[in-house]
Amino acid sequence: MASDITLSNAVRNNLLSLQNTADLLGRTQERLATGKKVNSALDNPTNFFTASSLTARSSDLSSLLDSVSNSVQALKAADTGISGLTKLVESAKATARQALQAPVAYTQKPSVTSNALTGISADALTGTTNKVTGTKAGLTLDKTLNEGSITIATANGAATTITVGAAPGNAATVGDVIDQINSVSGLAARLTDTGKLEITSADGTGVQINYKGGAADLAAGPSETTGTVAVADDAALQALFATDKELTLVAEDGDTSTITLTATSTKEDLLTALNANGFSAEFDTDNQLRVGREDGQSFTVSGTAATDLGITNGTFVAASQGGSFTAPPPGTSQVSGTVAVADDAALQALAGEINLVAEDGDSATYTIDGTSTIADLTSTLTANGFTVSFDSDNQLKIARDDGQSFSVAGTGAAALGIDNGTTVPAYDPADTAGPLEQLGLSSTYSNNLDGKSLTVTTGQGTSDERTVTVSFGVGEDQVNSIAALNQAFGDAGVAVEALVVNGSLKIQSTNAAAGQTFEIEGTALGATGTDAAFTSATGTTKESTPATFGGAGDESRKAFVKDYNDLLKQINVLASDSSYNGINLLAGDDLSVVFNENGSSKLDIKGVSFDAEGLGLNDITESDFRDSQSVNNVIGKLDAALGSLRSQASKFGSNLSIVETRQNFTKELINVLDTGAANLTLADTNEEGANALALQTRQQLSTTALSLSSQADQAVLRLF
């Protein structure tokens, strides 16, 4: 709207300049008052809206910092909890180690024990070794040997028999025996420095003397004899014994088996009666009776029933020889008559007195008359160390088992075919000893472990199950010593140990695993009543005996069980208390940390369950601390728990580092945003102050100029 007032050009120009100055001064004063040079979109739309965007993002990030800060504290609370849990788990481990060092809690370890095994020793489980040394010292190569034979074999090889005697081709001297042994592949022989014969298996498979191998031999042992009469069935046996007859087996140590056979006896009755006191009896594939000694002792077979079964009455079976002969055993002094006495009547037809006198004065006397019987004669004279009987030829036989010399006198002796006054010399072992005795060798043979396998399993049906199979023998990959057997157990991690006890192999849990039971199976195990090394009711598996516990050690370890379980309770409590602001990363809570305003950048932290159960720890029972293996199993779980704690501590530490790094980054980014916004909108107060001062001066000057212009316009008034 045009002004109704007419101003001069100078006044109007000065007025306009004053108005502009006032406007600039007002704007400068506003900038000084707000500190900004852009206070609205009108000031600078680009800078205003850019600064507003930067300020808004800065504000959003600032609001996230509180959440990030809470996350940092939640992670620190979890880390603190893990540190506490670690100390508690280490305390539990210390308790377990104390239990480990306490006295043992068992009184008997689980075990299985074999039947008696012939010849077993710690260095020869199967009764064979790869070296046999005779006991006879001072032998020379030219020493002449008595007639006989020596059978030698390696455990896995064929048997070789060396015939000793004067005939061409036979071994006559010790040197000849050595030469013949050395000619056998796999065997070597020599005389030691002390003159003992030593026989060695070159291939390490073991040496067996007088070895008897093959399916045709009696499985029960090496000393044996076989009848010649076939007994097809019970009826055939009963047909032999219309009248009762007796069969007696007597071993050199006095063991005896006896049966009276009758018209009702069965083959089973016979075998049952004879299979006693170390004897073994069977009917072979030809239905002929075979009797033997499992331990290889010599024995005699006597009785009228023996003859009917095809074994000469009075047969002596030498130790480990497998042969038989009718003479009284070596080691006795003896004499035989030449007159056959078929029955009592034949004896009564004779007359006279028989006087027996031994060198130490022992004596026995009997007078034959019309009432004498064979039974009376034999029973009366069998006294004071004398043994008198009628042999299978019905001839009188007199012997001294102690080998003393004795005399036989009287007309009765002469009547029976023994010269009146006969002197029987003392038995001289050197004169009749066989080559085995002369060389100091004894029979060696394998027992029921030889060639058999045994599988031992511990921890059946659990994650700790361990099993090992061993084969017994002296061949490659076989074990024949306690050391080798225990080495096999140890290599397989089977916590058992073996030892030889009273002629049996005993396998028991180790001291460290005294509470575990185990089982065995394999060909070394058979049914009860068999000749297997180990026997069981099933014949296929055998469980170890259970452990028994007690004593001071058991009570001590029970106390440690309580201490351990109390520590697990504290683990549960501490884990539940490790929370911050309602978040417990040790109780399964998850945490999500957002780092930017739209949530596209974040860190998801997975919580864990670190109570005792979550750490793989459970309350234990008394059995868990009773032996070292059980304690070590608990310690293994504690070590795993410590590993989990340390691993999780590392993860939480890494997460904390990330969150703290992003926290610092966000703070710095907020500063960058705020600075950028300020750079776009903030005024330079120094500049604006200078502008204000200049404008104030200009305003004063403009006012003065306006005044001067106005005064110029007033000059006309002087005309009036």
User: Where do the domains of the chain lie, and which CATH numbers do they carry?
Assistant: 9-62+673-717 (no CATH), 66-103+553-669 (1.20.1330.10), 108-120+449-535 (no CATH), 131-209 (no CATH), 223-317 (2.60.40), 333-432 (2.60.40)
Bridge partners of 423? 407
Would the CA dihedral through 156, 158, 163, 168 be positive or negative?
negative
CA dihedral 264, 265, 266, 270 (to 10 degrees): 180
Q: Is the pLDDT assigned to residue 335 strictly greater than 90?
A: no
pLDDT of residue 218: 31
pLDDT of residue 681: 63
3 state SS of 114: coil
> How far is it, in rounded angstroms, from Cα 605 to Cα 585?
8
User: What number is the average pLDDT over the span 345-370?
Assistant: 93
pLDDT of residue 672: 78
Q: What DSSP designation does 609 have? A: B
Mean pLDDT across the chain, nearest whole number? 81
> How far is it, in rounded angstroms, from Cα 82 to Cα 642?
10
> How far is it, in rounded angstroms, from Cα 478 to Cα 484?
9
Residue with the bigger pLDDT between 150 and 512: it is: 150
pLDDT tens-place string over residues 418-460: 999 999 887 666 566 678 878 888 767 678 888 889 999 998 8
DSSP string, 467-480: EEEEEBSSSTT-B-
Can you say how many angstroms the Cα of residue 335 is from the centroid of all Cα atoms in its chain?
63
pLDDT band at 469 (very low <50, low <70, confident <90, very high): very high
Q: Where are the alpha helices (DSSP H) in 457-543?
A: 482-491
Task: Return the number of other C-beta atoms located less than 10 Å from residue 147's C-beta.
Answer: 13
pLDDT tens-place string over residues 22-35: 676 667 666 666 66
Which tokens is 516 given?
Answer: 């575990």
The answer for 461, left when phi > 0, alpha when psi is -120 to 50, beta otherwise, is: left
Bridge partners of 681? none
Which of 255, 204, 105, 220 lies closest to 556 in space, CA to CA?
Answer: 105
Helix (DSSP H) and strand (DSSP E) numbers for the chain: 15, 33
pLDDT band at 689 (very low <50, low <70, confident <90, very high): low
Residue with the bigger pLDDT between 174 and 392: it is: 174
DSSP string, 58-88: HHHHHHHHHHHHHHHHHHHHHHHHHHHHHHH
pLDDT of residue 327: 37
What are the Cα distances from residue 283, in Å, to 58, 216, 222, 423? 107, 12, 16, 43
3 state SS of 692: helix
Can you say how many angstroms the Cα of residue 657 is from the centroid of all Cα atoms in its chain?
47
Task: Return the number of other C-beta atoms located less than 10 Å from residue 349's C-beta.
Answer: 12
pLDDT tens-place string over residues 197-246: 999 887 666 787 866 433 223 333 457 778 888 888 899 999 988 899 99
Q: Is the distance from CB of 416 to CB of 351 less than 8 angstroms? A: no
Which of 209, 251, 280, 226 lies closest to 434 in space, CA to CA?
Answer: 209
pLDDT of residue 215: 25
- Confirm whether pTM is higher than 0.85: no
Report strand pairing: 548-549 vs 602-605: unpaired
Q: Is the distance from CB of 152 to CB of 205 less than 8 angstroms? A: no
Which of 291, 346, 349, 287 lies closest to 317 in space, CA to CA?
Answer: 291
User: What number is the average pLDDT over the span 148-157?
Assistant: 74
